[in-house]
Amino acid sequence: MTTNAAAESATPSALPSDAAYWEAAAESFDEEPDHGLRDPAVRAAWDARLRAWLPAGSAEVLDLGCGTGSLAALAVEQGHRVVGVDRAVGMVERARAKLAGRDATFLVGDAAAPPVGERRFDVVMVRHVLWALPDPTAALRHWASLLVPGGRLVLVEGRWGEAWPAGIRGSELVSLVRPLAEHTLLEDLSGDPVLWGKEVTDERYAVIADLPRRHTEVVDVHLVLRRGEEVLLARRAGTGYADGLLHAPSGHVEDGEDVREAMVREAAEELGLRLAPEDLRVGLVMQHCAPPPARPRIGWFFEAEFGAGGEPVNHEPDKCSELVWHRMDDLPDDMVAYCRAGLDGLRAGHRFLLHWHRPGDGIAHAPSTPGRATALDAP
C-alpha cells in the first residue's frame, strides 16, 4: 500500500500512513508504473522477481498492503493462492475487481495485524509498508507468526527522499529480521530501472527471509479473572476470528517475554489492569489445535482475583464489543470452544489438558457434539 512516491513527498510530521490518504489515492494508484504494471516490460520484470522469491510449487501467499492487487495477480498467475489485505476500501474493491474469479481473496484490515484468524501461510509478502508502521519490530514478529515452519518473508522496502528521507535502510531491516530467520538475503533493486519504469538513485531492495523449519507453536495467555463464583469474559469483535463469541481476555506471548510478563501486559492492554506478577497463579496449561488447517498452540490460563490491579475496563472496543461476568458453573454456550474447554477443565480441578479439534469441528462451543478435551493429569 505505502509507496516510494508517497515517501518522497512526506515530511516527518505528515507520513501518509492513514487509510483516508490511500482511499483518495486508490483511483489513480495504478498510474504509477510499478503499481499498475501496465507496461509489459515492468510487468515482466516484477513477474521474474516473484518467480525467484516465491516457492516453485503452489503456495499460500499473504499479500499485506496489497493495494489494487497487481502483485497478487502475478502470484495467482504463477499458481499460488493469495489473500490480500489493505486498509483502504477503495484499494480492496479494485483488487477484487482485478482478480474476479481468480484464486484470491481480499480483506479490509490493518497490515500490522491482518484479520486472517488462525490461517497460516507459506509466504508473507509486503511491499513498501513496513517503513510507515509505528512498530516495525512488532509487525515483523507478528508476520513471522503467520507463517508455517520454514515459511518465507518477502519484504520489498527502500529509503527515499532528499529533503526528508523516509524508509528503512536495507542493513537495518536485515538486522530486524535476522533474529526471526534461519536464512536472510538482501537483494538490491535500485540497479534495475525496469522495475520502476525509470532510473532511480535512492535505495530500493528486497529482503528474503526463510524461517526455521523446526516445529514451533504459538503460546497464548488467558486471564481467568474471578469475582466470587463469576469469571470475566470478553465478546470478540472485528478480529476476523471467532467474532461474536465470548472468550477470556487473552493474547499471544511476544518474542522475548515469559508467559507471566505476557499476561501482565495483555491485562493492561485489554482491561487497563495493573497486575503485579504475584497477583497471578497458573491454573491450567493446555495444548490446543483449532479446526484444520490451523496449527497447534499452547495456552496458559492464569487466575487472578477481582480487585487486583484495579477495575477492568474495555480498552480495546475495536476488538471487544462487551465485557460480561458469568458463573463458572453456568458458562454460556456462545463461547470459543478452546476457552470453554479450558474453563471447564479448570473448574473440574485439572491442570493439564489436550484440546484437539477434528475435521468438521467448529470454532464455537457446541454442547451437542463430543468434547475434545483430554485430561493429562487424570488417574
pLDDT, position 379: 56
22 or 80, higher pLDDT:
80
Tell me the pLDDT tens digit for each residue of 199-223: 999 999 999 999 988 777 889 999 9
Please give the Cα distance from 17 to 336 (Å, whole number). Answer: 34
331 or 255, higher pLDDT:
331
Spell out where 47-142 has E strands: 60-64, 81-86, 104-108, 121-127
Q: Which of 284, 271, 267 is nearest to 339 (CA)?
A: 284
How confident is the model over 81-110, as a mean pLDDT?
A: 94
pTM here is 0.64
Tell me the pLDDT tens digit for each residue of 189-203: 999 999 999 999 999
Residue 9 clears pLDDT 60, i.e. is over it: no
How confident is the model over 24-40, as a mean pLDDT?
A: 85
Residue 352 clears pLDDT 80, i.e. is over it: yes
pLDDT, position 293: 66
Task: Please give the span between the terminal C-alpha atoms of the chain, in angstroms, as a whole number.
Answer: 56
Tell me the pLDDT tens digit for each residue of 149-178: 899 999 999 998 766 678 999 999 999 999
Please give the Cα distance from 298 to 288 (Å, whole number). Answer: 6
Q: Provide, rounded to the nearest whole percent, the portion of the chain with pLDDT above 90.
A: 76
3 or 372, higher pLDDT:
372
pLDDT, position 174: 95
pLDDT, position 45: 95
Tell me the pLDDT tens digit for each residue of 363-373: 999 998 888 99
Q: Which one-letter amino acid corresponds to residue 374? A: T
Taken in order 356, 358, 359, 360, the sign of the CA dihedral is negative
Indicate the average pLDDT of the chain.
90
Residue 229 clears pLDDT 90, i.e. is over it: yes
In eight-state DSSP terms, residue 357 is -
